[in-house]
Every structure is written in structure tokens, then in C-alpha cells.
Amino acid sequence: MLYLDDMQVGATRSFGRYEVTREEVLDFARKYDPQPFHLSDEAAAETHFGRLAASGWHTCAMTMSMFVAEMAVHPQASLGAAGVDELRWLKPVHPGDVLRCESEILEVNPSRSRPDMGSMRTQTTTYNQHGEPVLRFVALALMRRRPA
């Protein structure tokens, strides 16, 4: 188990592999983001996307899926997150893309009022199979400190 005390500013890790399917792009869009360029090849062809594109929110969900799978392999004393800053959709994600993630620790801050926990800021970037960044955000994660 990794605790806040184990986290070092500047540490990076690469993780995940997510194959984006057409059916999943359409299902997500129908349920959560039913804009024409997420639902139709023809409508997407009329936009800057050029072809069917996954919702940015779907890209966030795929990234979260890879993150949770990574935590199952390398458990952390996570207490969830306090939020996300600087969320950017950098490039469209299309059916057939294969995504992966890289994360860097930007800050580690033990709590002054709760000695059993603290927070860390991380920057996560999701890449497609060509190594092009498609998503980037900074998250504020809450974590337990190592028990005494």
C-alpha cells in the first residue's frame, strides 16, 4: 500500500491501455452527451472533428477507468479527490484509438489540521496510440498518511 508519505514530487508513472470502440462512443453519447458529432459519422464530417469523435467526458471516464485499474495493481491509501483543475481536451478521440496515461506528482502536502491525511496534486495526460496528448488535467487527491 502506498501512502502520502511515499509520494515524491516529480515522480512519474505510465499506465493503462484502453481500446476505444465505436459502440462505446455511441452508447456514451446517447446517454450523456448526445451532440450530433458524437452520434453520427455524417454530422461529425461537417465539423472540425472530421469523423465520429468520443465525448470529452467519455475520454475523462476512460482515463478514470485506467486510473482505477492501475490502483488495483498498485494500491494507494486513497481517500478520493477534492477536484480537478485545468481540464483540457487537446485532441479528439476516435473509435479505434488506443489510449494510455502518464501521471506526474506536482505537490505533496500533509494536512496541518488532520495529521492522518494530506493531499497531492498530480498532472495526468492521456495519449493516443500515436503518442499525441488527447486529455490533460490536474487533480487534487486526498490520501492517508502512513499509520504510526
Note the pLDDT tens digit of each residue in 112-148. Answer: 999 999 999 999 999 999 999 999 999 999 999 999 8
Q: What are phi and psi of 135, to 5 degrees?
A: -150, 140
Contact (Cβ atoms closer than 8 angstroms) between residue 53 and residue 38:
yes
Note the pLDDT tens digit of each residue in 6-51. Answer: 999 999 999 999 999 999 999 999 999 999 999 999 999 999 999 9
Q: How far apart are CA 125 and CA 132, in angstroms?
A: 10
| Mean of pLDDT values over 46-67 | 97
Selection from 112, 111, 108, 103 nearest residue 121 by Cα: 108
Q: How far apart are CA 36 and CA 38, in angstroms?
A: 5
Strand spans (E) along the chain: 12-19, 78-89, 98-110, 117-127, 133-144
**Which DSSP state fits 141?**
E
Selection from 7, 111, 128 nearest residue 59 by Cα: 128
This model's pTM is above 0.85:
yes
Q: What is the pLDDT of residue 148?
A: 80
- Distance from the first to the final alpha carbon of the chain: 14
The partner residues of 110 in beta bridges, in order of sequence, read 118
**Which DSSP state fits 20?**
-
Q: What is the pLDDT of residue 109?
A: 97
Q: How far apart are CA 20 and CA 76, in angstroms?
A: 27
Q: How far apart are CA 48 and CA 28, in angstroms?
A: 20
Question: Which SS3 state, helix, strand or coil, does residue 18 take?
Answer: strand
Which three cell numbers mark 53?
A: 469523435
Q: What is the pLDDT of residue 145?
A: 97
Note the pLDDT tens digit of each residue in 66-101. Answer: 999 999 999 999 999 999 999 999 999 999 999 999
